[in-house]
């Protein structure tokens, strides 16, 4: 089956980014296709490469980058990104800024669009 | 349809609201702070028991462990992320944020 | 059913202005409405406050969304459901709302949810 | 002590919780989504009326206007930010987030 | 009262892990405890879940705060209050908590709040 | 009187940043001293100079910058900033990154520390 994820909260402040990541991994381990992770609302803060958490904690931006390297599109909504100061120069590897039209295409394309948020 | 609830039933209305709109036979998965509804002997456990006549309840193992919840309502099945994906394969997902 | 037409329901459950969810939710709905999909909206719980007439954010100095609500119909977003009990609990009547809606019982809205391909809560 | 409540009384527990801990005579200021408690004829207006015997209730004007709330419970006084500061001059502030 | 000593109460009202508020709140408490102020903590509502024994975040792969709770006493943060009704509503007993606390009625905690110079909710 | 503000949520996503700003202005208009605005949790996102909201909406980072120019210290907690990818290079004018010790000094110094958040 084809899955995609909509993530509506930022890293660390809410658990949503963790749940979305673990779900994403489980989807792929089951042999399904995860086409994309679309970041909306504060979710756009997930892909800043300036994120620098304590050494003994998980690095959430690197997680998305790692999924991106495996072919999952990591997409940050442009309007939501601009409000929160996320721009191309800040993006972690394998992520990109795009529009809500892309989310609509994803919603039409996949079998399951699963939302995580607060 | 698979419903997920991710907020504490004691401080948010997601649990109550989801139960009002879920149809008979719909599985309900407790995740994140939503797993507090799975703990037995609280003021919401009666509500969960009552709805378990028509709906199956699940709770995510890693969220239960993180919160130290070990004594669960009988009606709740514990699953991992693989189990979450299996439920999502069978049902569309309605995430009650 | 046409394989390329999906039923997508946007569920607004948050009050306006205290958080951005309704505002950015409506931005999402307007974009999705430009595609030929079956878009509907359900207002539940505090979400019904987003439909209240006479919201004026001038003094608060934040951008409101009354105009966006007003153009939903022009974008063919016409299936707008409101939970009756949510209205009653909050002391509102359908006449207090800014746009025409269908007031339904929770069970009826639940049955509509059950046939959706995509559900997004805001 | 001045208490502020910034969440809807219908979906969060801040309103109930604040009322449990506030002492007699403490003013209570409704701000942001908290102003929904000021609207008359809802299922929480009885609770507000009851507590108004011991506590003064205030609501922030710009938040009421933004939400189109014009029919208020009699017990609620509408104030602006200058009024908020005046209350904070007289009392320590306890923000029930 | 010594002019340079203030009474500061940290009020934890959120469940752990679903949001970062308890975690970052405890970071704040530890820093403030290094200054010679009268620091206390009150756990109310879902905040009491933050004190639950046996929290193990290994599988969730997020950094927990059980160690921080454990060292509060070493930092002389010893006035830790828990609302009795919040415990009861959530089916927890004082034996379920990880550290020693004083269980009080809401009114008693309210009276303690009333004499604080600073109150911060987490 | 001496006031300070503790702001615990990011811009736009929650109204807290708006309420804190309007309260700050009212404090100063009443002739009180507002010594500082301390940003914690997602509040640190308030001071990114890359913020670029729609033209017809308020610009929240500029508001803090404007207060900073009037002598209010705009302080972003370092640990919270690092988790969320806020660093010196991103800071809007008249804001700085600092530690929780500074917040403690503020709490000791002022007559009123007022918290805004979600």
Which residue of chain A is at minimal alpha-carbon distance from C34? A101
pLDDT band at E3 (very low <50, low <70, confident <90, very high): low
Polymer length in residues for chain E: 122
* Residue E4, pLDDT score: 74
A83 annotated active-site: no
Q: pLDDT by residue (tens digit) across B32-46?
A: 999 999 999 999 999
From chain C residues 34-63, the ones with a CB under 8 A of any chain F CB are 60-63
D12 vs E: CB within 8 A: no
pLDDT class of C2 with cuts at 50, 70, 90: low
Q: Which of A112, F37, E105 is nearest to C6 (CA)?
A: A112
Q: Which of D5, D8, D9, D11 to mutate to test the interface with B (most CBs of B within 10 A)?
A: D11
> Hey, which bits of chain F come out as E strands?
2-7, 33-39, 73-77, 95-98, 112-116
Helix, strand, coil content of chain D in percent (nearest 5): 40, 25, 40
Interface mutation target, options E60, E83, E86, E96, chain B, most CBs of B under 10 Å: E60
CB contact under 8 A, C55 and D66: yes
Burial class (CB in 10 A: 0-12, 13-18, 19+), D50: exposed
**For range E37-66, the mean pLDDT:** 97
- F117 pLDDT tier (thresholds 50, 70, 90): very high
CB-based contact E28:F80 (threshold 8 Å): no
- Tell me if A3 and B97 make a contact (CB, 8 A cut-off): no
What is the reported pLDDT for C48? 98
Label residue D30 by pLDDT band (50, 70, 90). very high
Average of per-residue pLDDT across E28-53: 97
* Alpha carbons C48 and E58: distance in angstroms, whole number: 40
Over residues B55-67, mean pLDDT = 98
pLDDT for res D3: 98
* Annotated active-site residue in F16, F77, F80, F106: F77
Mean per-residue pLDDT over chain B, rounded: 97
Task: Kindly report the average pLDDT of chain C as a whole number.
Answer: 96
CB contact under 8 A, C120 and A99: no
To which residue do tokens 């004007």 refer?
D61
State how far Cα A74 lies from the chain centre. 5
Nearest C-alpha in D relative to C53: D68
pLDDT at C3 over 80: no
- The band of A90, judged by pLDDT with boundaries at 50, 70 and 90, is very high
Burial class (CB in 10 A: 0-12, 13-18, 19+), B47: middle
Reported as a pLDDT band with limits 50, 70 and 90, residue D82 is: very high
Q: Determine contact, residues F109/F1, Cβ cutoff 8 Å.
A: no
In chain F, the largest separation of any two C-alpha atoms, in whole Å, equals: 40
Q: What is the pLDDT of residue C95?
A: 97
> What mean pLDDT is predicted for residues B56-65?
98
Confidence bin at E2 (pLDDT 50/70/90)? low
* Residue D88 confidence (pLDDT) above 70: yes
Rounded to the nearest angstrom, the minimum Cα separation between D13 and chain B is 5
| D35 min Cα distance to partner chain E (Å) | 20
Tens of pLDDT, residue by residue over C49-79, are 999 999 999 999 999 999 999 999 999 999 9
**DSSP string across D47-86:** HHHHHTTTS-EEEEHHHHHHTT--SB-TTEEEE-HHHHHH
ipTM exceeds 0.95, yes or no = yes
Q: What is the pLDDT of residues D35-59, one digit of tens each?
A: 999 999 999 999 999 999 999 999 9
**Confidence check: pLDDT of F45 > 90:** yes
Catalytic one of A67, A77, A90, A91: A77
β-pair partners for F40: none
pLDDT computed for residue D15 by the predictor: 97
């Amino acid at each position: 089956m084809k899955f995609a994820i909509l993530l509506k909260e930022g890293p660390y402040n809410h658990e949503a980014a963790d749940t979305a990541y673990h779900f994403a991994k489980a989807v792929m381990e089951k042999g399904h296709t995860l086409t994309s992770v679309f970041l909306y609302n504060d979710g756009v803060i997930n892909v800043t490469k300036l994120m620098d958490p304590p050494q003994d904690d998980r690095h959430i931006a690197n997680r998305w980058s790692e999924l991106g390297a495996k072919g999952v599109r990591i997409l940050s909504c442009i309007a939501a990104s601009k409000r929160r100061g996320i721009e191309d120069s800040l993006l972690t590897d394998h992520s990109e800024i795009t529009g809500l039209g892309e989310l609509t295409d994803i919603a039409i394309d996949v079998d399951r669009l699963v939302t995580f948020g607060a | 349809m698979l419903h997920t609830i991710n907020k504490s039933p004691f401080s948010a209305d997601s649990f109550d609201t989801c139960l009002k709109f879920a149809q008979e036979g719909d599985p309900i998965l407790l995740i994140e702070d939503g797993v507090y509804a799975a703990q037995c002997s609280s003021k919401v456990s009666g509500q969960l028991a009552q709805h378990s006549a028509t709906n199956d309840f699940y709770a995510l193992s890693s969220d239960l462990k993180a919160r130290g919840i070990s004594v669960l309502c009988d009606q709740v099945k514990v699953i991992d992320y693989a189990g979450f994906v299996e439920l999502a394969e069978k049902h569309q997902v309605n995430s009650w944020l | 059913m046409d394989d390329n037409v999906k039923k997508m329901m946007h569920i607004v459950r948050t009050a306006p202005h205290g958080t951005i969810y309704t505002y950015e939710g409506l931005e999402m709905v307007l974009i999705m409405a430009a595609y030929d999909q079956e878009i509907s909206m359900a207002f539940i719980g505090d979400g019904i406050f987003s439909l209240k007439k006479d919201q004026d954010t001038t003094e608060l100095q934040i951008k409101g969304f009354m105009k966006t609500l007003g153009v939903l119909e022009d974008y063919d977003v016409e299936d707008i459901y409101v939970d009756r009990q949510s209205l009653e609990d909050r002391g509102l009547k359908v006449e207090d709302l800014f746009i025409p809606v269908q007031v339904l019982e929770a069970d009826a809205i639940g049955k509509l949810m059950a046939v959706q391909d995509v559900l997004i809560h805001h």
